[in-house]
Amino acid sequence: MSNLKVVAITGASSGMGKATAELFAAKNWVVYGGARHLENIPTAANIHPVQLDVTDSESNHHFIQTVLAEQHHIDVLINDAGYGENGPVEDISMEKAHKQFDTNFFGAAELAKLVLPTMRQQGFGRIVNVSSIGGDIYSPLAAYYHASKAALQQWSDTLDLEVRQFGIRSVIVQPGGTQSAWGATAMANVRQNLKSDSAYAKFADLLGNALDSGSRGMTATSGDLAQVIYAAATDPTPKRRYFNSMSDHLTVIVARAFPNVFRATLLRSLKRLGKRA
């Protein structure tokens, strides 16, 4: 047990979760990093890697029990683990749709339930949920991803109202496109989820190529997002939402305030894409 601040981070083996684990460790926190690929969690004296599959209830219990048995307190839980089970709604199996929600939503919800009793007894705690600007905006071939992130946001806002009376806050970070393994996983899933005789094969190709060139221009790094997540975890007066850039924030504002403008813009881009085919 130590008197240092303690953070549990899911998704600590790659991308922004890994960068966040490194940042908290550099700031002298005691870090518990969870992921399925234990070997990819960064090594440092104050980083404790723990085998974790957030879709497995036993694994979630083991992760939080390890933290509490060794440290007896927890300051922050960061729900970062997530991926895109992308593909057309018609093709994607319900099993995969459930897996998307089990990872991006129910995993986070169960971990929060497991830390709340301790945070309530302490009289403080912070739960940082990594959503996406895709919790408010949407694009084709990612229906279950957008739905899972939108669910996470509504859930976090509701939880926050219930627990702030105990000194606990639940907040959301909404990254836009960020350099990590996320895009390659999502594209691989589109291919895997397309049926062999899919009516969406050509559409998926067109969209895949457009996303591919879009992602090459992506400037935000996982390190940038780690800074945003750190701010969300330590801000003395936490906000409901945290963004990495003004353009990410503006995109969400436009999509929420002017949904028809957002949709018309999206439809125009899809039409342009179709003409290029």
Ligand X SMILES: NC(=O)c1ccc[n+]([C@@H]2O[C@H](COP(=O)([O-])OP(=O)(O)OC[C@H]3O[C@@H](n4cnc5c(N)ncnc54)[C@H](OP(=O)(O)O)[C@@H]3O)[C@@H](O)[C@H]2O)c1
Choose which of 6, 17, 21, 47 interacts with ligand X (CB under 6 A): 17
* Minimum CB distance to ligand X smaller for 122 or for 227: 227
Q: Catalytic annotation on 32?
A: no
Choose which of 7, 8, 9, 15 interacts with ligand X (CB under 6 A): 15
Q: Does 249 bind ligand X (CB under 6 A)?
A: no
Strands of the chain, DSSP E: 6-10, 30-35, 47-51, 76-79, 125-130, 168-173, 241-242
Choose which of 25, 47, 50, 52 interacts with ligand X (CB under 6 A): 52
CA dist 140 and 174 (Å) reads 19
**Six token digits for residue 105:** 């939503």
Interacting residues with ligand X between 101 and 140 (CB under 6 A)? 103, 130, 132
CA dist 104 and 54 (Å) reads 9
CA dist 183 and 175 (Å) reads 13
> Which segment (10-18, 89-97, 231-239, 264-272) binds ligand X by CB under 6 A?
10-18
Question: Which of the following is catalytic: 14, 131, 132, 222?
Answer: 131
Answer for the pair 125, 229: CB distance below 8 angstroms, yes or no: no
Choose which of 101, 182, 200, 242 interacts with ligand X (CB under 6 A): 182
205: left (phi over 0), alpha (psi -120 to 50) or beta: alpha
Q: Does 82 bind ligand X (CB under 6 A)?
A: yes
Q: Which of 39, 84, 48 is nearest to 66 (CA)?
A: 48
* Minimum CB distance to ligand X smaller for 73 or for 174: 174
Radius of gyration from C-alpha coordinates of the chain? 19
* Minimum CB distance to ligand X smaller for 185 or for 198: 185
**Given the rule CB under 6 A, which residues bind ligand X?**
10-11, 13-17, 35-37, 40, 52-55, 80-83, 103, 130, 132, 175, 177-178, 180-182, 185, 222
